[in-house]
Structure 1
Amino acid sequence: MLTTTRRMATLLAAAASVRSATAQETRYPDRSVTIVVPAAPGGGGDFAARLLGEGLTRVLGQAFVVENRVGGGGSVAATAVARAAPNGYTVLLAYSGTHVAFPALFPNLAWDPVRSFAPVALVLRAPHVIVVRKDLPVRTLAELADYARRNPGRLTYASSGAGSIQHIGGEWLAGMVGAPMLHVPYRGAGPAMNDLVAGTVDLMITTPPAVVGLLRDGAVRALALASPSRHTMLPDIPTTAEAGFGELELEAWFAVYAPADTPPPVVNRLSEAIRQVTADPVFRRRSEESGTTPAYMDPAELAAFTQSELIRWSELIRRLGIQVE
């Protein structure tokens, strides 16, 4: 009789726990949510996170607060979210340059792009644009290539960190040009862009949100868009194919991931809210004005996309022979 009573008590406690968890998931979110972004203020990732946060705050009725976690080219942010409580209140706005390139560069990461996270939604896609300091004596990609060959090793290019997509793109460009360029890593795209504007470094390959305003002000000069087609907000900038470097195509993306084991109802609720945000005309207009494109994927689609991107970037890094100490 005692055993039966204990068994019933255990079952009732378990059922109560399940009801409590289900109720919490149904109420999600009932407090503020932190979007951890692996970028300093002013970079493309920071812009994307703040634009998304504004939309989610409106749709879900709770504050979505952006937290900038720089360092390790984005690894500091990824590690923080991977170790966070799996309840949907701390999520990562991942940048593809970190999320799918780093595993091929750093074998001992503290996080895994698949096992450490629950895919939530793809948010934005963004081509990369090749920009130079305003007083560099080149105005086309062909002139840059000629300048680099005449000054081997003297051209410097900035990135948001060793192993970042800007680093990979710089090495890819140097290989196509046939002349070495000096890599200068920074702790985020914002500080790197600041030094490009100041003339401390010569060039950078980055996403449009970080440079659209600077281009309008004449603070930097764009040479080419590493994309198969021109962008409506950058209509005068030729593609790399038009400039004679068709193989060089770099498209970044921004996606939301939650810690692994986050309950599916929480993941699905957040994903659906992101779908609504990315379909909103104001969000679409603001993102397109920045040079990015809304591109929603649900959790299952993002999971498959992440796997395919891991393969693609691993093959590119191996082909370029990029190694990071």
Structure 2
Amino acid sequence: MATLHRRLILTGAIGLAAAAASAQPAARFPERPVRMVVPFAPGGSTDIFARLVAAKMSEDLGQQIVVDNKPGAGGNIGAEAVARSAPDGYTLLVGTPGPLTISPNLMKSMPYDPARDLVGVGQIVNVQSVLVVNPATGIASVHELIDRARAQPGKLSYASPGLGSSPNLAMELFAAQAGIRIESIQYKSDSQALTDVMSGQVPIMIANIAGVLPHIRSGKLRALAVAGPRRSALLPDVPTVSEAGLAGYAVTGWAGLLAPAGTPSPVIEQLNRALNKALATPDVVAKIEQQSAEPAPVSPKAFDAFMADERARWAEVIKRTGISVE
């Protein structure tokens, strides 16, 4: 009987010890600097957004967040590096539509699967684009552009910074929804495409508002419509494409923060809180708005759902147009 009593006491002690251990808080995160990979060269808008939030998040988390630029292959090199990293919260990705929602549908094979290998921490920004034409075209509205394209099928062309780029697919979606055919002229960069539209070599393009706003204000370009779901505060008198006659059309650029799949949920939630706190800081908001963007704080779950919807939408556009990249 005494032996049984001792066993019961020992079992109870072990149980209490286990319960106490499980009640102990997990190891503090972060305990060392965090690496934030930007899959593009320094100085671009994605790099600017990353450095803005990294600085504020560092203050909140008590550890430095180091921005690491790993450009190449349209953002896929940096994205793959993060996808293959340890899922511990110490390696993060600032991702954009290209490597996360377009490339998986565009390329026949990829060394990583964004939907499987990465998980959302939160969205950083939405970036507005605008449909512009060279004023010499005489086209003054979305209706006039569609009418011209229908009257002269295949005669109009648009400039874009590469096959499968966001502007390329945004214009292809526009043409598909309008039931028109516009020839795609590919360039190696936004700046080259813009130069030829301004010179009249190519009449049309969709571009980031920040890159074309000075030329709209100077009269060298004419803004027909904002591509996103809402008007831009920078172009308040310019309607959205949907308002201008192509109901339901909406394309918005964006950037978000991601981690390797398998990263513990408490770590994801902590990073999300720090990110959203940074996005609510007045000086960060002001600097984001200077880039023709707007803060877009959301939960990790909402960001994952948003990316899934984006992948499905671009898959349909790519399938319809037959675009592919080896």
TM (norm. structure 2) is 0.75
> Quick one: which of 178, 181, 189 aligns to 2:180?
178
For residues 101 and 193 of structure 1, what CA distance do their matches in structure 2 show?
A: 22
For residues 107 and 95 of structure 2, what CA distance do their matches in structure 1 show?
A: 17
Within 5 A, what are the aligned runs for 1:1-325? 23=27, 26-28=29-31, 30-31=32-33, 33-38=35-40, 41-42=43-44, 44-60=45-61, 62-65=64-67, 67=69, 69-71=71-73, 73-133=74-134, 137-148=138-149, 149-150=151-152, 152-153=154-155, 155-159=157-161, 161-175=162-176, 176=178, 178-186=180-188, 189=190, 192-193=193-194, 196=197, 201-216=202-217, 220-318=221-319, 320-325=320-325
For residues 197 and 64 of structure 1, what CA distance do their matches in structure 2 show?
A: 39
The question of whether the paired residues in 2 share the 8 Å contact of 1:157 and 1:170 is answered with no
Q: Considering only aligned residues, what root-mean-square deviation do their CA atoms show, in Å? A: 3.3
The question of whether the paired residues in 2 share the 8 Å contact of 1:226 and 1:240 is answered with yes
What is the CA distance between 1:108 and its match in structure 2? 1.3
| SS class of match (2:245) | coil
The question of whether the paired residues in 1 share the 8 Å contact of 2:122 and 2:275 is answered with yes
Seen in structure 2, the aligned counterparts of structure 1 residues 193 and 111 have a Cα distance that, compared at 3 Å, is: farther
Ranges in structure 1 where 5+ consecutive residues have no aligned partner: 1-21
What is the CA distance between 1:274 and its match in structure 2? 0.3
What number of residue pairs does the alignment pair up?
Answer: 298
What is the CA distance between 1:136 and its match in structure 2? 5.2
| SS class of match (2:297) | strand
For residues 190 and 250 of structure 1, what CA distance do their matches in structure 2 show?
A: 21
The question of whether the paired residues in 1 share the 8 Å contact of 2:173 and 2:317 is answered with no
What is the CA distance between 1:117 and its match in structure 2? 0.9
For residues 201 and 58 of structure 1, what CA distance do their matches in structure 2 show?
A: 47
For residues 267 and 256 of structure 1, what CA distance do their matches in structure 2 show?
A: 10
Sequence identity (%): 31
Seen in structure 2, the aligned counterparts of structure 1 residues 183 and 70 have a Cα distance that, compared at 3 Å, is: farther
What is the CA distance between 1:56 and its match in structure 2? 2.8
**CA offset digits 1:124-181 (Å, max 9, x no partner):** 223431133566553433343455454834523213x322321211222334262331
| SS class of match (2:95) | strand
For residues 195 and 77 of structure 1, what CA distance do their matches in structure 2 show?
A: 31
What is the CA distance between 1:229 and its match in structure 2? 3.0
| SS class of match (1:93) | strand
Question: Mean alpha-carbon deviation: is it higher for 172-181 or for 196-205?
Answer: 196-205
| SS class of match (2:315) | helix
**CA offset digits 1:266-286 (Å, max 9, x no partner):** 433322110101122222333
Q: Which amino acid aligns with 2:226?
A: L
For residues 139 and 34 of structure 1, what CA distance do their matches in structure 2 show?
A: 43
**CA offset digits 1:200-243 (Å, max 9, x no partner):** 65433233344445544556432211234322222021211332
**CA offset digits 1:248-307 (Å, max 9, x no partner):** 321232211122333444433322110101122222333334332222122233223333
For residues 51 and 219 of structure 1, what CA distance do their matches in structure 2 show?
A: 32
| SS class of match (2:163) | coil
Question: Mean alpha-carbon deviation: is it higher for 136-145 or for 194-203?
Answer: 194-203
The question of whether the paired residues in 2 share the 8 Å contact of 1:53 and 1:66 is answered with no
Q: Which amino acid aligns with 1:112?
A: D
| SS class of match (2:222) | strand
For residues 193 and 219 of structure 1, what CA distance do their matches in structure 2 show?
A: 11
For residues 250 and 272 of structure 2, what CA distance do their matches in structure 1 show?
A: 29
TM (norm. structure 1) is 0.76
Tell me which residue corresponds to 2:17.
none
The question of whether the paired residues in 2 share the 8 Å contact of 1:123 and 1:278 is answered with yes
For residues 77 and 323 of structure 1, what CA distance do their matches in structure 2 show?
A: 24
**CA offset digits 1:9-57 (Å, max 9, x no partner):** xxxxxxxxxxxxx64x5234x3363331346744x43443343334334
Seen in structure 2, the aligned counterparts of structure 1 residues 195 and 268 have a Cα distance that, compared at 3 Å, is: farther
For residues 258 and 214 of structure 1, what CA distance do their matches in structure 2 show?
A: 38
Seen in structure 2, the aligned counterparts of structure 1 residues 195 and 51 have a Cα distance that, compared at 3 Å, is: farther
Question: Mean alpha-carbon deviation: is it higher for 164-173 or for 148-157?
Answer: 148-157
